[in-house]
Amino acid sequence: MSTIAQELRELFTKINIYVGRELLSFDTLTDAKSLDPVQSSVCLLIRGIIESGIKSERDLTAISIPWAYHSPTHHDYDSFVKRVREDGLPNVFVPLSIFAYRGICYSGFANGLSQRTDLPAVYVASPGRMNVLAQLLDARDVASLRYPLVAYRDLVSILRLPNNGYVFDHIRALPASQLSELTREVATKTPRDSLKFVLGLRNSSEGITLRKQWAERIWARGLSASTGSEAAISVKDSNIGGSLTQIQIFGAALD
């Protein structure tokens, strides 16, 4: 049976052969043992949130976690079974702990990569992961995660898109990535036409200007960032007799 690592190596090899150079490569960073303190920190963070009354056990166990993190075959499952017991958490928090831990590690990797290479690096989290991190991290960390998605709010006007009489950039509580003129314009098109439309904008002088100013705002805060939408389209407990197509559109998808 092949492992995910083996499959990735095979995929990387095929891509590198196709492009005629080493575009993708593997690199050994650290032994997993060195991340044990991170595992413990996540468990203690969850325990502290419960003990302080910020969230109840019921609130946190109600958070939807992908099935893979519930499985005893997950790479981190055994270590977290031991970790939650040592740090005073019920076993039911193993999936949440693993899911949060992996997100924090991915964010830490992007931050470490930017420091090693002195180049910008971004970890783009899934909606589910963003939702979990928003539940556990403090307000400053959450604001930092959300910043790239709001930093371009007033820049969309550079694209000179029709607003059909409505502009929502003055309401900070509403997500720019879902209510900008760009998002609403794309929402009226088919998926194929949406891709063509956004590609055209990306290559336009206006699109280039927007991306440049957006990047300057993000990197002014540091060379690494972690972000992602907290809104997801989910289908649960359903029997699908035909085809199901899920499309998620982000107003920030210019780069």
Give the HSE-up count for residue 70: Cα atoms under 13 Å, Cβ half-sphere: 7
Q: What is the CA radius of gyration of the chain?
A: 21
Nearest to 26 by CA among 10, 3, 43: 10
8 Å CB contact between 130 and 233 = no
Low-confidence ranges of the chain (pLDDT < 50): 1, 247-255
How far apart CA 255 and CA 252 sit, in angstroms, is 8
* Total residue count of the chain as it appears in this document: 255
8 Å CB contact between 248 and 148 = no
Alpha helices of the chain — where are they, by DSSP H?
4-19, 36-51, 57-61, 77-86, 94-117, 127-136, 139-150, 176-179, 181-186, 191-203, 205-219
The 10 Å Cβ neighbour count of residue 239 is 4
* Neighbour-count burial of 19, counting CB atoms closer than 10 A to its CB (0-12 exposed, 13-18 middle, 19+ buried): exposed
Give the HSE-up count for residue 40: Cα atoms under 13 Å, Cβ half-sphere: 7
8 Å CB contact between 49 and 136 = yes
pLDDT of residue 232: 56
Compute CA distances 217 → 101, 118, 170, whole Å: 28, 17, 19
Q: Which residues contact 44 (CB under 8 A, 6 or more apart)?
A: 87
| The dihedral sign for the CA sequence 193, 196, 199, 203 | negative
pLDDT of residue 251: 41
pTM, 2 dp = 0.78
Quick check: helix, strand or coil at residue 76? coil
| The dihedral sign for the CA sequence 171, 175, 178, 182 | positive
pLDDT of residue 230: 66
pLDDT of residue 238: 60
8 Å CB contact between 181 and 236 = no
How far apart CA 40 and CA 97 sit, in angstroms, is 9
